[in-house]
A and B are shown apart, each in its own frame.
Chain A
């Protein structure tokens, strides 16, 4: 049994026939060719699949397509404008916040949501926001420094 849903992804509407149990991460990766959203634990713990739904970070591995019907989804691919990186993306690059890069899109989306909601977070608020995204390479220090560097920009 399939059902029709409309996903608004990065400003584009996609009308899709989906299985009710299909996850948004699978739709993004397998049907919309948006592979920047990564998949790891599939149980909402690691944060690698974080996307923004109506501006809020969510684990797209736990988000079923019907739950996202009519909602606005943003992925890492939306951060760049006219070939120019967002200040946060550029900060990740120059601060060395990227190593293997598998967790990077998730961190970027969580941090983007934080800064949209709270443009001047202090360190405690940055850490609180990022605690649901796991990184095994960096030890988090440079990620937090990168986020802090764009506060107020």
Chain B
């Protein structure tokens, strides 16, 4: 592909294929969708006037046709004439002063065409970051974690770049390190950050009278929980291509969750005007929160400007482990008070967050952990103290749920303990305390459309039945157990407005394009947004081509994160679809000289009085005037939170769920296996059941990994297991195929066709539910993630932590 081809690529930019091939694929997609729609209509007849025509159908993903052919354009697949390949020289020390950087030998190495050091980047352009600009593109004076980039080298081949990296001499003066939150909080001669010392943020939140709450309690539980850091393990490592296009636009093609963020950052870092920068998202091979920070973008952009040649940079798997963000390591101390009939009277929470060497998303994750303390329950008296600190570990950042999975682990384990001690069932204790409509959250927000109890209702009979069936089960060293956990989760940014926009346009041939601000990161959101836009416009879903992830073709609508795309961008697509429909009907009315109210666009056809014409003919009728039609939708709910008190409405809506898991474990081996998971979700209306089930099943698998095996092992500031051999991911053999997704009926009054969101949340209850099942099976209370065999055996052998010994 040449540089100019990227200006307006013919056909689908994500598909590697000729125009002829792509036309064929498109026809195939039309056929598949039409077949699906016919089958679904036959199964579930609908009324045009009253029922959704597209929402709720199992529409195949619009990108799967080229993904199953191996023809998807991931960034690593892009080649260009004259391309150079880049690698980084990375810090050997977790904390050190850089005394000198000598690149003279690397400069003359075979194939080397360009070298970039931090010293070459002006100070006011050196620091970047998603929330705070604190992370050097290349470290200049000091390194704060082992693996931090110091020099970037580009060469004719990747191997030459890699070889040249070994020729760079960096002279360090090692500094003492801080490796635990406790060390960071204590008085120390070591300072990691020049502005904030060793504390990223220290947050307080609460309501009621905590002392009075505990005084009222008949029972008080006090526990410590510890959660080890985990990696996103998206299979596609960060990769990008940077070049200057023929119109002098710096273009970066990169796998990211947020092209507009990189666009703004690159403009600042390169000193280019905004209209001389473009960031295009390539097909994303998984993200889970880990593709929202700068990785290859800034260095490759600066190097393409320096060398005048296209640059490709791809991280190795080891670099992913050692140099991209992790889920925070966390310690939680929690004190819970309740009356003897199970009503929570007080909750006192102390959180410690290992933020690593730079801020990344620590502030955001911290805010979420504070707001979600005690979710999804009524806590009349609450006190939360949350501290996130700097350490000399790789930075911690965003990952599926922004930390809430850990808060839920503590809360849900403690709630089960409370139920056990009071002789109340784990379902009942949640029913007693669970949030319902008109309840106030700890931030003072009044809740509506709360489906928590509906999810409990869905799980209760399954739980009772399995409990009766498993009673007394014991087979040698094998035991079985059931565990329950719930969740409540706010959709979108925490307490900051984050609007989404969409535009819907058509051409005379009848091709409709929906421009959506948030990109598809592998979840299938482009297909869901096409479904919403089609529903609202009254046209067939396969007619719609979605353009997303191009920073010059859509408005900045925030990242695809925080489970926000279906709700925020879905609402925008809904408004834009309706606007398109109204403008289209008016245009046809104008051409036929009838009042607009006598024209209807529905079921992919236009009805003018008694005449019915197909959509293409209507587009022809409108002719060139069709360019005047532009459906526009903006969704910008009024949310705000006081940053000191956390009072206000942090999210426009909340999702809820109850999970039940059945496990089988071996008391001799300490091993735990998931037998079955029943996942009841209030995600509002389900736009695409196949996609929604895929999110739940994937979330359960990720939750099982975090519950049982996954752990980034760190010693002395170094990651000891930076590859899949020693960092164990769940395989097909480890995750049960018995995952039942149950979507309770709950229509959100503010969501597009009643939809809320789902992507992150199916993960959240799993580790807690697994821990509670371990307790049910063998009477020990895990307080640590992961619950690997060693940990479980220690628990089983330690009578002091045994429930029976309490």
- The stretch among A1-9, A62-70, A129-137 that forms the contact with chain B is A129-137
Known: A96-B694, A102-B286, A108-B68. A143 touches B732 (CB 8 A): yes
Contact code string A68-101 (vs B, CB < 8 Å = 1, else 0): 0000000111011001010001101111101111
Asked if A149 lies at the interface with its beta carbon under 8 angstroms from chain B, I say no
Shortest A88–chain B CB gap in Å is: 9
Cβ-defined partner of B65 (8 Å) among A76, A93, A141: A93
Q: Which of B24, B522, B701, B729 contacts A100 (CB 8 A)?
A: B522
| Cross-chain contact A130 with B732 (CB below 8 angstroms) | yes
Residues of chain A at interface, number, CB under 8 A = 58
Bitwise interface map of B from 689 to 724 toward A, beta carbon under 8 Å scored 1, else 0: 011011011111110000000000000000000011
A27: shortest Cβ distance to chain B, in Å?
A: 14
Roughly how many angstroms separate A122 CA and B690 CA in the complex, as a whole number? 24
Residue on A with the closest CB to B236? A102
Bound complex: CA A105 to CA B233 (Å): 18
Which of B69-77, B487-495, B558-566, B574-582 forms contacts with chain A? B69-77
Give complex CA distance A12, B632 in Å: 51
State whether the Cβ of B395 lies closer than 8 Å to any Cβ in chain A: no
Q: Which of B103-111, B148-156, B733-741, B772-780 has 4 or more CB atoms under 8 Å from chain A?
A: B733-741
Query: Does A121 make an interface contact (CB < 8 A)?
Result: no
Q: Is the CB of A37 within 8 A of B70?
A: yes
Smallest CB gap from B731: residue in A:
A131
In the bound assembly, the distance between CA atoms of A135 and B729 in angstroms comes to 9
What's the Cα separation between A132 and B701 when bound, in Å?
16
- Per-position contact with B for A14-55: 1 when CB-CB < 8 Å, else 0? 000000000000000110011111111111011010000000
- A128 in the interface, Cβ–Cβ < 8 Å? yes
Interface positions, chain B 42-78, Cβ under 8 Å from A, are 58, 60-61, 63-65, 67-72, 74, 76-77
B497 within 8 A of A: no
Which of A98, A100, A103 is within 8 Å of B521, CB to CB? Answer: A100
Whole-angstrom distance between the alpha carbons of A132 and B734 in the complex?
A: 11
Knowing A93-B60, A96-B61, A100-B234, say if A139 contacts B690 (CB, 8 Å): no
A142 in the interface (beta carbon within 8 A): yes
Known: A101-B64, A101-B283, A141-B737. A41 touches B317 (CB 8 A): yes
| Given known A-B contacts A38-B236, A93-B60, A139-B700, A99 and B522 have beta carbons under 8 A apart | yes
Residue of A nearest to B157 (CB): A30
> Which secondary structure characterizes the binding site on chain A?
loop
Distance A127 CA – B736 CA, assembled complex (angstroms): 10
Q: Any chain B CB within 8 A of the CB of A60?
A: no
Is A150 in contact with chain B by the CB < 8 A criterion? no
Asked if A36 contacts B76 (CB within 8 A), the reply is no
Contacts of A40 in B (CB 8 A): 235-237, 317
Question: What are the residues of chain A within 8 A of B317 when measuring CB–CB?
Answer: 40-43
Residues B63-108 near A (CB distance < 8 A): 63-65, 67-72, 74, 76-77, 79
B32 interface hit (Cβ, 8 Å):
yes
Q: In the complex, which residues of chain A have a beta carbon less than 8 angstroms from the beta carbon of B731?
A: 130-134, 140
B732 touches A140 (CB 8 A): yes
Determine whether the beta carbon of A76 is less than 8 Å from that of B690. Answer: no
Asked if B523 is an interface residue, CB under 8 A from chain A, the answer is: yes
6 contacts between A and B (CB under 8 A): A36-B70, A40-B317, A100-B286, A133-B732, A134-B724, A136-B233
Given contacts A43-B724, A104-B67, 7 further A-B contacts (CB under 8 A): A40-B235, A100-B235, A100-B236, A100-B285, A104-B70, A136-B288, A136-B701
Q: Which residues of B contact A (CB under 8 A)?
A: 16, 21, 24, 28, 32, 36, 58, 60-61, 63-65, 67-72, 74, 76-77, 79, 232-237, 283-288, 316-317, 521-524, 690-691, 693-694, 696-702, 723-725, 729, 731-733, 735, 737, 739
